[in-house]
Every structure is written in C-alpha cells, then in structure tokens.
Amino acid sequence: MSKRILVTGGAGFLGSHLCDRLIEDGHDVLCVDNFFTGSKDNIRHLLGNPRFELMRHDVTFPLYVEVDEIFNLACPASPIHYQHDPVQTTKTSVHGAINMLGLAKRLNAKIFQASTSEVYGDPEVHPQPEEYWGRVNPIGIRSCYDEGKRCAETLFFDYHRQHGLKIKVARIFNTYGPRMHPNDGRVVSNFIVQALRGQDITIYGDGSQTRSFCYVDDLIRGFLALMNTDASVTGPINLGNPNEFTIRQLAEMVIELIGSKSKVIYMPLPGDDPKQRQPNIEKARTVLDWVPSIQLEQGLIKTIEYFQKIVK
C-alpha cells in the first residue's frame, strides 16, 4: 500500500538513498532538509518525480505536515561537520527529536530514529551488543553528537512509554557508498579522495584501530526491515557490517583498487576517537532476518566510481 513518508535529512548521504528506495517501492516522499550537510545534487534526479516533494526546513523548528510515517535522519554525522557548530548539533538531535516525536504523536504515525554506534562511545565491550550502555565522555569534543543521539533515544523511548507511540530505533555503524560528502573527514571518503588526487593518505594514530564498514544499500535494506516489523519491535537494533578491518588495511585496499601512488603518513589520534568499533548484529539477524551482503572490496569499487566523477 502506498504511503506518504517524511524523511528528515532526506538530501543527505543516507537520506537520499532512502528516498530513492521508498519511491522505488511506490511511496510518496516528503524530503525535508536544511542543506547544512545535505546537497541538492543528491536528490536532483528526483526533483521531477511526481512522488517526490522537497522542503527546505530545519528540524529544530516544528513542522506541520500530514504523513503516514516518519524517518528522522536529520543530523550532521561526521566529526568535521558536527564539531563545526556543536551547540546546533545537540539542538538538531534533541529539539529535532522532540519536534518529530510531537508530529508523530499528533498524526499517530510510526517514527524511525537514525541513532548511531557512537552511543557506545569508546567501548570496553567488543563487539557491541544493544544491551551495552556505552562509555561516553559527556564533556568531550564528540559529545555534542554522542550525547545528542543518546538523549534522542531517551526521548523516543519516553514517548513510547508515555504516549504509546510506535517507534523504531536503529543504531547505525560506519556506512559508506556513493553520495558521501567528499570533505566530511570520514575515513572512506578521505582515503578515496586522497588516493584519486595522488596525495598522501593520512592515518590518525598507528592504523591498528578497527572499523566495520557497511555499504549503503545494505543499510537502507535494514532500515526498511526494521520499519516494517510489528509494533512490539522498537529496537534499538544495531545495523552494520560485522566484518572488522584495521584502518591500515582499508588504506591499502583503497590504494590498490585505485592503482594510486599515494604514500601512507601517520598523524596523532584525535580526542575520544574509539579504538574499536564492531557491531554485534545477532538481533538484526534474528528479529529482522537481515545481514549485509555486499563485501568491502565490492562496495569500495562502486564508491570509487562515484568519486571519480566528482573529484577534480
């Protein structure tokens, strides 16, 4: 059945891929974005589609629309962007959640929260299951994002308990793919852009820290699987690829796939940067019947093809 679906942050990396998939599935999409990190280029191909509507709006202000479901993705997600205006980052997570939850309550609409693996902070438990409460520095340079997202989860569950709201909370682990912002400072886009330009590839720390990289198509499939569960499934549910790689391995793979002559250089590790990040996805596997299917090399090839078109 066709629904009218609101996607906040819909012109961003993940949001634009979600809009594509929802329209493909026959839904009408209202894409809301203030274009702080989102880009019209990401959704330009949808602008003439009768099922797609674009609205410039900041979720820290209330929104008065009529929809059946809400995906709340609005928030800068890379350290460079969320540390640029940390107060606004916290407002986007907290006020944005309050405004979208208020809208969902008025409409009796199901609402999805794009939370993050950053709620686990620099974890002492590895891999991270949903039951782990995390180890987050509340006054560090990353806390505007980490604590903002933790507070958003609090609000979602309090609205669920207090008002019976139908909520779905996904904790997203490192995701990559086409439409990543070339200057977002995230490791996959950084390495690809540096390698394409023949620049030195910058590794912060000694490169032994690990990440688990999920290709965007797999992640969006996880979003929809979670959104389509019955009301008893609220999450939080980890969505990410459990295959773990060191940052050094990623750099070597990017250099090899591009055939670049870039050298690897090492810089000091930024504050509060987690040393390990790997999802335990047992819950997604059993509750959603979801596992990622696209391996890192395969996904990197598609991502490199995208960056080859936009990097000068």
Residue 95 lies in a domain: yes
Domain count within the chain = 1
Taking the C-alpha atoms of residue 133 and residue 225, their distance in angstroms, rounded to an integer, is 24
> Which entry of 82, 120, 145, 215 is annotated as an active-site residue?
145
Residue 111 lies in a domain: yes
Residue 262 lies in a domain: no
Per-residue model confidence (pLDDT) at position 271? 67
CATH code at position 153: 3.40.50.720
Which domain range does residue 11 map to? 4-176+215-240+276-292
Residue 254 lies in a domain: no
Residue 267 lies in a domain: no
Residue 188 near residue 176 (C-beta atoms within 8 A): yes
Whether 145 is a known active-site residue: answer yes
Taking the C-alpha atoms of residue 299 and residue 312, their distance in angstroms, rounded to an integer, is 22
Indicate left, alpha or beta for 205 from its phi (over 0: left) and psi (-120 to 50: alpha).
left
Instruction: Name the pTM for this structure.
Output: 0.95
Return averaged pLDDT per consecutive 10 residues of the chain, 312 residues in all.
Answer: 97 98 98 95 97 98 98 88 87 97 98 96 91 94 94 98 98 96 88 95 91 96 98 97 94 96 88 78 98 97 96 82
Residue 181 lies in a domain: no
Residue 195 lies in a domain: no
Residue 280 near residue 157 (C-beta atoms within 8 A): no
Per-residue model confidence (pLDDT) at position 272? 61
Residue 222 lies in a domain: yes
